[in-house]
Amino acid sequence: MSLRSWLPSFFRIGLLVVLPLPVAAQPAPIRVAIVGLEHGHVSGFLEQFPKQNDAQLVGIVDADSALASKYEQQFHLDHSLFYLSLDDLFAHQQPQALLVYTPIGQHRRVIEAAAAHNVTVMVEKPLTLSVADALAIRRVAREHHIQVLVNYETTWYPSNRALFDLLRHDSLGDLRKAVIHDGHNGPKEIGVQPEFLSWLTDPAQNGAGALYDFGCYGADLMTWFMHGETPVSVTAVAQTDKPETYPHVDDDATIIVRYAHAQAVLMPSWDWPFSRKDAEVYGTKGYAIAPNPTLIRERVNVASPEVALGIPPLPAPNDTSLHYLAAVVRGQLDPNHDLSSLDTNMVVMQILDAARQSAKTGKTVALHPLP
């Protein structure tokens, strides 16, 4: 089945619904708090926050008073929202979820603190720095029965969902190869905030450079396409083409992820001529390419030409991170095996940790399922 065959029927089904339906009561917004302002993506979140009804912001935690003041003024936030520590936040508020915008190296600490208060957490990608940290996070999440979610921009791309559906419906046959490109021309080159650039270029806080910053996107997608299967091995090379700008971390990497009957080639880079997040999947029957969030190019058999198809927006709650988070907190959605789920991101961390080790040693790293 190709996208051509199921998209039109989807629209026909939509046209059949002509009678007015009862309006469901709007659920109360979930209470969320932001932890950390060092991650530049927090600006985009604060810009969009007033336009949605899923969450109420009850607190912002950051010990840097100058940074907190900058965001307070920029987004016209109430000064009473700001707290210097997580302990202070929990003493005065009862958030249902934390949105974490700290350096990656602080994710484990924040998650452990949230778990002690039985609070769900959504961190910006990737989950953490190492498999050891990931195992510790999984342990506290299980002990305290909380959800730990990872937010990737590409999770909300309709085109990536279309790739997954083509594979799931066997339209392309068995998956044999994926090629996934992610990155831009460099965080300094695109002008990220100084506090963001500082930790992005610190391997102790970011794990690596482009290899972690953008390699996680491809690792997440491939783990999803492979339904959580642990790869057989990971081989990676990483280099610094701009040492004057990034003296301590890589700015370009290639990661080969091998499975029993498939391969993925992940190409994270801070050296692309422009921003890109695109994916290609090749099966035993055909291929599909997602060059952007809303377009698919597919060829499903040898007798058919390649066709381009626009993909409609995803329905809520799978269209935005806040819709998704609210559905999980309310118990309306089980995140298991999703792109954001902890189980998927445990495998992502195996791939990233092994890629970092392989790039350092020049050797292929064998992997086994985590206990």
Instruction: Quickly list H helices, 194-341.
Output: 194-200, 203-206, 210-213, 215-225, 321-329
**5 in a structural domain:** no
How does 164-175 read in b/e, with b if 16+ C-beta sit within 10 Å?
Answer: bebbeeebbeeb
> Do residues 302 and 194 both lie within one domain?
yes
Which stretches in the chain have pLDDT values below 70?
1-24
**18 in a structural domain:** no
> Do residues 172 and 219 both lie within one domain?
yes
**141 in a structural domain:** yes
Domain boundary among 137, 152, 167: 152
Asked if residue 29 has a cis previous peptide bond (ω within 30° of 0), the answer is: no
> Do residues 64 and 37 both lie within one domain?
yes
> Do residues 241 and 132 both lie within one domain?
no
**317 in a structural domain:** no
**177 in a structural domain:** yes
> Do residues 107 and 197 both lie within one domain?
no
> Do residues 232 and 168 both lie within one domain?
yes
What pLDDT score was predicted for residue 49? 86
What pLDDT score was predicted for residue 12? 34
> Do residues 127 and 161 both lie within one domain?
no
- Whole-prediction pTM: 0.93
Q: How many domains does the chain have?
A: 2
Residue 26 backbone phi and psi in degrees, to 5: -70, 120
Which domain CATH number covers 360? 3.30.360.10
Rounded CA-CA distance 103/95 in Å is 21
Domain boundary among 112, 132, 152: 152
**54 in a structural domain:** yes
Residues 190-225: tens digit of each pLDDT: 999 999 999 999 999 999 999 999 999 999 999 999
> Do residues 34 and 173 both lie within one domain?
no
> Do residues 127 and 145 both lie within one domain?
yes
Domain boundary among 152, 167, 202: 152
> Do residues 242 and 96 both lie within one domain?
no
> Do residues 88 and 177 both lie within one domain?
no
**218 in a structural domain:** yes
**7 in a structural domain:** no
Which domain CATH number covers 70? 3.40.50.720
The parent domain of residue 67 ranges over: 30-152
> Do residues 165 and 122 both lie within one domain?
no
